[in-house]
């Protein structure tokens, strides 16, 4: 694995917040931001893992359920200002319920949208408010390559992520119209090896075959690593990316280029 590009001072003096930071991509982003000089608040609902990751990398843990308006209010009271905000928390499905457009329950559909889209809306709303003092900041939303294609067995996941891409553009335009130097961009990862995939991978021989089958459509021929997404988040968070706004950037080993 190649070490990701990290400017050791690109976020020096910045305050950053990441949702869903106890695991996978969120934890990798938190680590890269700390290494780049930011003070980082890691938020999640899984506080055992969140505290462990925060302790390990030198961040501050905070319990925040992105689906709960009360939770956002409590967070805003504690952190009324921020410079970088990453809406990363997400789920691929609601339990083991069917997610296809014929058999999905309304409850399962709504549960996915509650985290992946309502959560990102409330995150963007908080971030604009918390960045108004300085009239500047960077918001980064984790969408997915699933935002750009049909996802027959995970329809709610696809629509929630398509919503995130659209919301990202609306936030970028709104902030510009308000005269705020707040950039809002989305990252669209392809298959990245994180705990989110575990229910689909299995164990032993089957695991090897499942991995091979999942990445068969990816020109890179492998899963991505969370650090490879964190490297792009770090660039978008830094002032070096000040002319990048309203973009949806793929980090997918070429998957969407096909």
List residues near ligand NAD by CB under 6 A. 19-20, 22-26, 44-46, 64-67, 88-91, 115, 142, 144, 189, 191-192, 194-196
Under 8 Å CB-to-CB from 36, ≥6 apart: which residues?
A: 6, 7, 8, 9, 10, 11, 12, 234, 237, 238
Torsion of CA 46, 195, 252, 99, to 10 degrees: -90
In whole angstroms, the minimum distance from the beta carbon of 176 to ligand NAD comes to: 25
In whole angstroms, the minimum distance from the beta carbon of 19 to ligand NAD comes to: 6
Would you say 40 and 83 are in contact if contact means Cβ atoms under 8 Å apart? no
Instruction: Between 10 and 218, name the residue whose CB sits nearer to ligand NAD.
Output: 218
Catalytic residues: 157
Instruction: Between 136 and 196, name the residue whose CB sits nearer to ligand NAD.
Output: 196
Instruction: Between 1 and 13, name the residue whose CB sits nearer to ligand NAD.
Output: 1
- In 35-189, beta strands by DSSP E: 39-44, 60-63, 84-87, 136-142, 181-189
In whole angstroms, the minimum distance from the beta carbon of 114 to ligand NAD comes to: 7
Instruction: Between 10 and 45, name the residue whose CB sits nearer to ligand NAD.
Output: 45
In whole angstroms, the minimum distance from the beta carbon of 126 to ligand NAD comes to: 13
Q: At what angle do helices 226-237 and 24-35 cross, to 10 degrees?
A: 50
């Amino acid at each position: 694995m190649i070490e990701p590009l990290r400017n050791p001072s690109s976020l020096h003096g910045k305050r950053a917040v990441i949702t869903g930071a106890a695991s996978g991509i969120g934890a990798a982003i938190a680590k890269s931001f700390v290494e780049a000089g930011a003070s980082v608040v890691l938020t999640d609902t899984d506080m055992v893992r969140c505290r462990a990751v925060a302790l390990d990398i030198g961040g501050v843990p905070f319990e925040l359920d992105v689906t709960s308006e009360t939770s956002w209010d409590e967070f805003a009271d504690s952190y009324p200002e921020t410079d970088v905000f990453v809406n990363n928390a997400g789920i691929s499905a609601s339990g083991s319920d069917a997610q296809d457009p014929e058999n999905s329950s309304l409850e399962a559909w709504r549960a996915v949208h509650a985290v992946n889209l309502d959560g990102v809306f409330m995150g963007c709303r908080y971030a604009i408010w918390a960045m108004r003092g300085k009239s500047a900041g960077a918001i980064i939303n984790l969408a997915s390559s699933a935002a750009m294609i049909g996802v027959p067995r995970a329809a709610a996941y696809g629509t929630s992520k398509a919503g995130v891409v659209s919301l990202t553009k609306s936030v970028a335009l709104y902030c510009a119209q308000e005269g705020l130097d707040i950039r809002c961009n989305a990252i669209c990862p392809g298959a990245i090896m994180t705990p989110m995939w575990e229910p689909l991978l299995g164990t032993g021989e089957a695991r090897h075959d499942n991995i091979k089958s999942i990445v068969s459509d990816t020109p890179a021929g492998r899963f991505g690593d969370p650090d490879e997404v964190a490297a792009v988040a770090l660039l978008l968070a830094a002032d070096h990316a000040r002319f990048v706004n309203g973009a949806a950037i793929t980090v997918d080993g070429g998957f969407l280029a096909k």
